[in-house]
Amino acid sequence: MSYSNSEAHYAFEALSFILGSILFSVSSSETPESLLLHHPEITKQISNHLKLPNSGAGENELCRWLQNTFQSSDLTLQLVVLKLLPIIGGVYLSRASLRKSLAGFEAILLAIYAYETTSRRGQAITVNVSDLSHPSIYHEVVVMNSTTELNLAILSQTLDPHGTIRSTKRARIVGVCFELYYSKIALIPLCSEIDFYELCVIWAGQDGDMYEDEEYGRKHNGEDIHDGNKQNASTSEGGVGKITKGKKGGDKKDRRIPLP
């Protein structure tokens, strides 16, 4: 058994202990890392645990497992953690202003941030943008000067190492984690991408802020936003959260993600 396989087996067994049981045996055709990455039931169990009221604390075993799993040398195991980033990031950001311990979530985010910082050697991500003063991108100017040179656009600023997450650096650190997530998105299961889209919807709100409007189910532009027979417009199973129509003050505090 290779070192990478032994890491995956250990991670699988450790997760089984944390979740209570994972009812899927590892056969010769199903590697543990493949099950952890692609099996929907395992993903659902992990997601449900991450959304528990006491999740994210420093002593949380699942958070410690996710941190250690990401720091392994197995790329597939790293993807297992990255696919859960929309859940981790969404729950973390929604609770950041509640003055409760989130050291477990922060340890995961710092591990991902440190990985990206090391991979990029702290350098910024830049792109050269052609000067539009050129007649065409296929034609060269005879005399080059400062007005005809390529413009350097910065897509992501330089990265500084961080050992803790301060409120002033929270958005930047989480953003860098999602930059890594996006760079690996071709390898990440589709269900995680859906979770990410739903996180963006929850963060942005509907027409400015859906969570401050008790009458979310009202007609919009002459059409009902959702079927009047339904009381809830929920996200995909195991997703980031649910949009709930109910009494004032229902799930608003826990669902709305405050801007940094």
Rounded to two decimals, what is the model's pTM? 0.75
Helix (H, G, I), strand (E, B) or coil at 58: coil
Give the span between the Cα atoms of 152 and 212, in whole angstroms. Answer: 41
Single out the residue of 194, 82, 22, 190 nearest to residue 30, CA to CA.
Answer: 22
Give the span between the Cα atoms of 241 and 156, in whole angstroms. Answer: 29
pLDDT of residue 20: 82
Q: What is the largest CA-CA distance in the chain?
A: 71
For the chain (260 residues), the mean pLDDT of every run of 10, in chain order, is 74 90 60 90 93 91 97 94 96 89 96 95 86 66 56 88 91 95 95 92 63 42 43 43 44 55
Please report the sign of the dihedral spanned by the C-alpha atoms of residue 50, residue 163, residue 187, residue 38: negative
**Cβ neighbours of residue 106 closer than 8 Å, sequence gap 6 or more:** 92, 164, 165
In which element (H, E) is residue 249 found? none
Angle CA 197–203–207, to nearest 5: 100
Q: How many other C-beta atoms are found inside a 10 Å radius of the C-beta of residue 38? A: 16
Q: What are phi and psi of 154, to 5 degrees?
A: -95, 115
- Tokens describing residue 212: 């401050």
pLDDT of residue 25: 54
Q: Are 157 and 124 in contact (CB under 8 A)?
A: yes
Domain boundaries, the chain: 3-123+158-255, 126-157
Summary mean pLDDT of the chain: 78
pLDDT of residue 194: 94
Q: Are 71 and 176 in contact (CB under 8 A)?
A: no
**DSSP string over 199-236:** HHHHHH-STT-GGG-TTTTSEETTEESS-TT-SEEE-S
What pLDDT, in 10s, does the model give residues 190-235? 999 999 999 888 877 754 444 444 444 444 444 443 444 444 444 4
Q: What is the DSSP secondary structure assignment for residue 258, as one 8-state letter? A: -
Single out the residue of 90, 106, 99 nearest to residue 204, CA to CA.
Answer: 90
Give the span between the Cα atoms of 211 and 232, in whole angstroms. Answer: 13
Q: Are 196 and 132 in contact (CB under 8 A)?
A: no
